[in-house]
Every structure is written in structure tokens, then in C-alpha cells.
Structure 1
Amino acid sequence: MTPRFPEPAGIRKIVHYQEEILLENGQAPAVPAVRATVAAVVSNPWAGTGPDTDLSPATEQLAPLLARVLTDRLLESLGGTEQVEAFGKAAIVGTAGEIEHAGALIHTPYFGNLVREFLEGSSIICFADDRADAGQALVVPMWHKTQAATRSHYQTITTRVSDGPRADEIVVVVAGSTGPRPHPRIGDRTTDPAVTSAILEGASA
């Protein structure tokens, strides 16, 4: 049996956050949605190295393990791949690391492609990354996992690890939602009218 926390991943802790909006502007959403994040706090394998360091070997080893662990936990939380409609990803590197270290763990096929596969998506995954002290909150954007033009699923969730990342750590996050924003009603990019500055100038003339 594969261990829940693969030893090579260097995971110190996993933080799970979940929310369900029961009322929005005094009314229950027509399509209730559960949103969740799963964050792994890992040792930064490149801490103390210079900007000429090749990030590929550690990325190829660590990123797939994180993709598997985080998506497994997210799917447990949200009820399986068929329930997940929107997804996103994020990373925060500690102050002793480079912002590129965060990017190396979420912006390559060794993470992004696998997260997309495990969550049965096809869209590009929305993302956020930052460098910060422990406890920094991060707003993670999401959109529809197969229909990126579906504006009803443009949403965010805020996540935070109270004691991470430490200076030599990275927090890696996968986020998901089972549905749209509460009361979506602004259409989507497939049905939008043509809007240009010239058209708007003509309308106001």
C-alpha cells in the first residue's frame, strides 16, 4: 500500500480548509457549492542555492508526489472527480527561497498536468504564487475544469497555514469547487456580445 505521506516529498504537514456558502444576500444559492483547499508544507529542496541552480531534478521527483497527495485529499473532501467542477493551484515560498522555487512545483507538467488528469479536467489551471513569511493568506483563483469560458465558475478561495511556510519551506496548494458562485447571472464568454471601445463610443455619441 502506498503511504499517505510519501517520504521523499518532505511533507511537514497538510492543512485542509473547506467552506459552504449557505446564504448569499439573504438567499440560499440555487446550486449550493462546496469549496476546499488542501495545502502541503514541504521543505524547499533548493534553499541556500543560487539562481543558476537547475531546478529540474528535484521538480521531477517532488512535484508528482505532491500532485497525487493533494488531489487525493481534495477528492476525499469534495466527493470524487465527478463532483469537482472548478479547480486552481497555488504556492507560497518562504523568505529564504526564490519565487521561482514556488513556480517550479506548480507550473510544470510534473504537477499541473497530473493535477488536471487526477481531477479529470482539460482547462488550463488558474494559479497564484507568492513569497512570504509564515501565516500569509493567499487568494487562490479557480475556474471551470473543462469549460474555461464558463464565467459562473470564476471564483476564489482564501487559504492560510498558520506556521508555514518557514523561511526554508514551500506551501503548495490545490483548490476545488463543486459548483459556481452563488447566484451567477453575468453570462459567459460564449454568449457575450461584441464589445469594443469603438462600439461604446458610437453608443454614447
Structure 2
Amino acid sequence: MELEIRKVVTICEETFIEGFKKSAKPVRIAAALAVIKNPYAGKYVEDLLPLIKTYSEKLGEILPQKAIAALGISGQEVEAYGKGALVGLDGEIEHGSAIIHTLTFGNPFRSQCDQAETLLPSAEKRGAAGSSLDLAIKHKMDPKIRSHHMTFEVRIPDAPRNDEIVIAAVVTSSGRAHPRIGSLHKELEGVFPS
């Protein structure tokens, strides 16, 4: 199987005002999305290993690298991240899941984010060209830090075609603008936000 990427799209957003209040620093989020050929579109294939071997490691390196570069920061400065797959109408959600739910995708991603430790949160679905995908984001070292729980909506007007998959990596250099609900650590200790 041959690696076939039609295009890579990078989306970067900076939010300066949230909830009618200026943020202490802009909330910056970037996602890199690869539009790839789905060789299994329109048919059932039992063994997905060739798909994994062709795409997982390569995209686990390329996409976080492009997202981090779009923010203009180092991997050390990434605070939170996530991943996703949007499968075209003739594919199975399992095809996208096979690519992103592997150590060959996740380990290069975490490595670029200064040896991050948490599992990458994910979003997977099937949709037509132009469908949106809400990428889940969590803190790279501690999933109980709620200030970094957020989503980032992405879409590509002409992708995925029926025989394509969009694979996404998202990173951010901070949490939400004005977090006020406290961490899960405190709630587990019986301390609730006032």
C-alpha cells in the first residue's frame, strides 16, 4: 500500500476576548489535517494492518509538527492536545480509528510535545465533504486539569471525498481563557469551586 496524501490543511485560531472579558494571554489553538486516500472505501477488509503501517507513524510525526509550527512555539510549550479522524461516506469509522489509535501515531505525537504522558483524546465520525469535526483537547500531562478540557471545530470544504479520510492533530499553548471550575484533583479531595 502506498502513502497517498492529497493535501494538508493547517488551521490556527487566537482568541483575545472570551465571555466579554479580555484574556490575560490569547488562547491559541492550531490543528493540522491530512486528507488521505482510503484504500478500503466501498468494501469490507478484515486486516487493517496495511492501513496502519502506511499511515499511522508518518501522520503521527507530520501533523503535530505542522500544528506546533503554526503556533510558532516549541513542543515544550504545548500544554494540551488531541486527535481525530473524519472518514468519507464509503469508509468505516474503524478505518480512521485504526490510524489514530495506535502507539505508532500517539508516541511520535507525545514525543514532539516534550514527552507528554496522557492519552490523546479523540473524535471520530463519518461524514461528507465539508463536515465538521470537533477535536477534543486535554492537558498533555494530567487529564484531571479541567482548564484544558475544550474542543476545536475543524472542517475542510472539499474533504473528505467518499474514498478519503481526514486525519487531524490539534495542539494549544494554554487552557481556556478564564477557567473557574477547578481541577478534578480538588473535587476528589472534597474541595469544590466557590
Match of 2:187 in 1: 192
Per-residue deviation, residues 125-158 of structure 1 (Å, max 9, x unmatched): 1100000100001111101001111110111110
Bigger CA radius of gyration: 1
Matched residue type, 1:99: I
Per-residue deviation, residues 84-121 of structure 1 (Å, max 9, x unmatched): 10000000110111110010111111212221222231
User: Is the CA contact 1:13–1:41 (under 8 Å) kept in the aligned structure 2?
Assistant: yes
Per-residue deviation, residues 1-38 of structure 1 (Å, max 9, x unmatched): xxxxxxx4311011111111111122211242200111
State how 1:134-153 maps to structure 2 within 5 Å: 134-153=129-148
1:85 equivalenced with 2:98 (yes/no): no
* Residues matched between the structures, number: 187
RMSD over aligned Cα atoms: 1.4
Cα distance between partner residues in 2 of 1:192 and 1:169: 43
1:159 to 154, 159, 182: 154
Matched residue type, 1:102: G
Could you list the runs of 5+ residues in structure 2 that have no partner in the other structure?
none
Cα distance between partner residues in 2 of 1:122 and 1:31: 25
2:58 to 38, 50, 65: 65
Cα distance between partner residues in 2 of 1:45 and 1:164: 16
Shift of 1:72: 1.4
State how 1:100-139 maps to structure 2 within 5 Å: 100-120=94-114, 121-139=116-134
Cα distance between partner residues in 2 of 1:131 and 1:118: 28
After TM superposition, the score normalised by the length of structure 1 is 0.86
Cα distance between partner residues in 2 of 1:107 and 1:135: 24
Query: Which of the two has greater strand per residue?
Result: 2
Shift of 1:176: 0.8
State how 1:5-44 maps to structure 2 within 5 Å: 8-44=2-38
Matched residue type, 1:127: S
Q: Secondary structure at the match of 2:170?
A: strand
Per-residue deviation, residues 172-203 of structure 1 (Å, max 9, x unmatched): 000011001011011001111567xxxxxxxx
Distance 1:193 1:146, change over 3 A: closer
Q: Secondary structure at the match of 1:114?
A: helix
User: Is the CA contact 1:31–1:180 (under 8 Å) kept in the aligned structure 2?
Assistant: no
User: Is the CA contact 1:92–1:129 (under 8 Å) kept in the aligned structure 2?
Assistant: yes
After TM superposition, the score normalised by the length of structure 2 is 0.91
Q: Percent identity?
A: 36
